[in-house]
Each structure stands twice: as structure tokens, then as C-alpha cells.
Amino acid sequence: MTKKSPATRPSDATRVVLFDADGRARKASAHALRLQLADGRSLTLDLSQAHDGVVALLAEHTDPRQQAGLLVRPDNADALSVAVTATPLVTTTGTPATPPEVELDIQFGDGTRQRAGVPGRKPIEKWVKSALYADAALTVRFVDEEEGRALNRTYRGKDYATNVLTFAYAETDDDPVTGDIVLCCPVVEAEARQQKKPLQAHYAHLIVHGVLHAQGYEHEDDAEAEEMEAIETETLQALGFDNPYEPVREI
């Protein structure tokens, strides 16, 4: 997977992120303007209904039960209509507030089920749904180094085991989201140690990364990588993890 080290920012800085109509991070053509507060809360100015004269101000937190919204619509005679909402229709990353349905098959290769730190079904399902934009049928498989190397050699022509492989089967945008996400446990564990990250956080990142690949996202060039990394960062932070592309601060 592609890794880039963005410029470091002060931990208490307020960040402004623009989203397009698909919920993807961009520098222009804003769909939403998000103010990220230092304590983890945020305010989002939703412009998705601006063509109807509606602007929504959404208060967000990592706990979706705490989300609240304020809809503002200009009326006649300089009047202003205001409505309070319970939750936004979509999250700031563009995924539905009510997660899509997923047919999830979790598989374990030789000896992987017993490895320390391999996540259980509940967190895996949560991480998968957090990155889904539509209903999907996905397989998440954990493998050892031998199987991971064989798959990488057979399908990518690279004779080594890599952290995550995604096999996406949808050929057009209209096809249902289907795919296999293969994680090589020894590689994931080694990377987590090297990067000084919690193993669960690294597994969560790689599964989110794989789910995006299954939906057609790529990182072959800088623009694609920037878009994909922005979505991954937003998704991981909403799940309560740190930015996966920022270096871990030494204590």
C-alpha cells in the first residue's frame, strides 16, 4: 500500500477539510466544510442541498448517538426557516449514517486463528461497514507468510508476502461490490511493531484500505493516493484511531 507522510500539524490546530458530492476529500467544489476541533468533536457545514437553498450545520462526535443537525433555509420576506435533525443522512466521508448491509465471510489460513492480536468478527464487521458506500459481499481472510507470498507471486508477480491484497470483482460501477481482502498476519504484526502502532489500529487501517480497493479506489498516482489517504484518515479517526499516515510521537 502507498504511504505518504503529510506535513505535521500542531495537535490543537483546527483543520478545515473540503468534501465533494461523493464525500471525497478535495481542494475545491466543496460538498461540505468540516471544522475539526482539537478535542475530537467537529462541526460540518453540509452544502449537499444548497441548490434548494438549504444549508445544514451538523455537530459530530465519534459516538453517532451524539450527532445533531440544524437545517437553515432562506424564505420569503427575509425570513429564515430552521429545523433540527437527529442525525445526518451521510457521514462526512460520504458513507450512509445507517451502514450498508454486508455479507461478510471471515476465513483463517493455517495457524492464523490462534495468532495473538487477530481481530474478532465484531470489530472486523464494524471496520468494513465504516468504509462501505453500498451493500457488499466481501471475504476477509487471514493468512500466514507462505500463503501470502504465494498469492502475491501468482496474482501480482511479486515473490514476497505483503500486508494486504484485495481482489475486486466488480467490473463496472453498476456491478455489486464483491471482493476478497487477504491480510498476511506476520507482515501486519511486523509493520505494527516497526511503526510503533497498536496492532488493532493497523489491522483496522488495512481492512479499511482493502474495502476501498474493493469499491474501485486506487493509489496509482499522487491524486488518487491523496484522495484515498484522506478517506482512510477520516474513517479511522471516526473509529477512534489516530491518523494512520502521521508518524507516532515519541513520549
Known binding-site residues for Zn(2+) equal 209, 213, 219
Whether the CB-CB separation of 219 and 2 falls below 8 Å is answered with yes
Phi, psi (deg, nearest 5) at residue 240: 100, 10
Q: DSSP labels for 99-119?
A: PPPEEEEEEE-TTTTTSTT--
Whether the CB-CB separation of 62 and 40 falls below 8 Å is answered with yes
Can you tell me the distance from the alpha carbon of 247 to that of 251, in angstroms, rounded to the nearest whole number? Answer: 12
Residues forming the annotated binding site? 209, 213, 219
Strands (E), 119-219: 136-143, 164-168, 177-184
Whether the CB-CB separation of 101 and 32 falls below 8 Å is answered with no
